[in-house]
Amino acid sequence: MSLELNETSIDIPLGRITALRSAATDTAPRVLALHGWLDNAASFVPMAEHLSGIELVAVDLPGHGHSVHLPAGAIYTFEMAVHHVLDIADALGWERFTLLGHSMGAGIASLVATACLQRVERLVCIEALGGLADAAENTALRMRESVAAMRAIDAKSLRVFPELDVAIQARMRANMMSEPVARLIVERGVREVAGGWQWSSDPRLMVPTWLRPVDAQVVTVCAGIECPTRVVFAEPAQPYLPADVRRRYVDALPRGELLTMPGTHHLHMETPQPVAEWIAPFLARN
């Protein structure tokens, strides 16, 4: 069995959100899928081939894929991302739903689950949980870097790739992706311009986060996720989220289960079947 995903759009107060959606149903569990940083809804295409029994909506988060960008002068924050997710659920007419997130999307999903206990039925996080922490002593430096990067945005010109395959090769090098996986993300993440192709993502997504929580705050977020949760991490662990740290975050979950398996950061795309086999019964549970 598999899910057939079709192009759709969802209007929220910010503007139009584009998405890939399976057939609507009145009985199947509703699952909202949130992709990683600089990825898009195509992130969930490989795994959809191994899922069934759910209604899946995989969105292009604001600033990604074909979705609306933030207004001029605005900055992307996790707080606003939580509201964008709730706006999407409201527009879908979903009062209760399950969240499926990868990387940045898993971090956002964690925050939604903690902040809105009454709305999130289940949570699946792939390659992230709770958020990325930073040491308190890095606060001033992080603020300076964020302000400097934001002020320099308008002076930067976007790279033009003469051929789509050049952009695909660039993404493969940056993220250790195979060609088919990189192609899925890139084809949905570029726009045609004079002379070739440019990334369609908002350049402001590259601005470093103004502030990050300290480790104790991330643990508290994880402890506040009351819904049943399944977490998938690849081995070896990413340098920015060492194995001992992610284990502590999982251990803080009141109702959490963990699966670790060999793979890369995009294991849900590179090896979708074993990931799907573990989360599919969980997602389809009423």
Residue 60: name the closest of 191, 176, 171 by CA.
191
Residue 245, domain member (yes or no) = yes
Whichever domain contains 20, its CATH number is 3.40.50.1820
Residue 174, domain member (yes or no) = no
Residue 286: predicted pLDDT: 66
Reduced to 3 DSSP states, what percent helix, strand and coil does the chain have, rounded to the nearest 5?
A: 40, 20, 40
Residue 141, domain member (yes or no) = no
Question: How far is residue 133's CA from residue 245's CA, in Å, rounded to a whole number?
Answer: 10
State the greatest distance between any 2 C-alpha atoms of the chain, in Å, as a whole number: 53
Residue 139, domain member (yes or no) = no
Range of the domain at 228: 6-134+213-283
Which positions ≥6 away from 118 have C-beta within 8 Å? Answer: 96
Residue 181: predicted pLDDT: 98
Residue 276, domain member (yes or no) = yes
Kindly state the average pLDDT of the residues 139-159. 94
Residue 146, domain member (yes or no) = no
Residue 90: predicted pLDDT: 98
User: Environment class of residue 39 by beta-carbon count within 10 Å: exposed (0-12), middle (13-18) or buried (19+)?
Assistant: buried
Kindly state the average pLDDT of the residues 74-78. 96
| Number of domain units in the chain | 1
Is-contact 55 20, C-beta < 8 A? no
Name the CA dihedral angle for 268, 251, 225, 37, rounded to a multiple of 10 degrees.
Answer: -30
Is-contact 259 229, C-beta < 8 A? no
Residue 96: predicted pLDDT: 97
Question: How far is residue 94's CA from residue 107's CA, in Å, rounded to a whole number?
Answer: 21
The amino acid occupying position 281 is: P
Kindly state the average pLDDT of the residues 246-270. 98
Residue 95, domain member (yes or no) = yes
Residue in this structure with the two tokens 């086999």, named with its chain if needed: 277
Strand order of the sheet with strand 97-102?
A: 6-12, 15-21, 55-59, 30-34, 97-102, 120-126, 229-235, 256-262
Q: What is the pLDDT of residues 105-117, one digit of tens each?
A: 999 999 999 999 9
- In which band, very low, low, confident or very high, does the pLDDT at 25 lie, cut at 50, 70 and 90? confident
Residue 137: half-sphere exposure toward Cβ, Cα within 13 Å:
0
Question: How far is residue 103's CA from residue 232's CA, in Å, rounded to a whole number?
Answer: 10
Kindly state the average pLDDT of the residues 232-253. 97
Which positions ≥6 away from 18 have C-beta within 8 Å? Answer: 7, 8, 9, 10, 41, 59, 60, 65, 66, 67
Residue 165, domain member (yes or no) = no
**pTM listed for this prediction:** 0.98
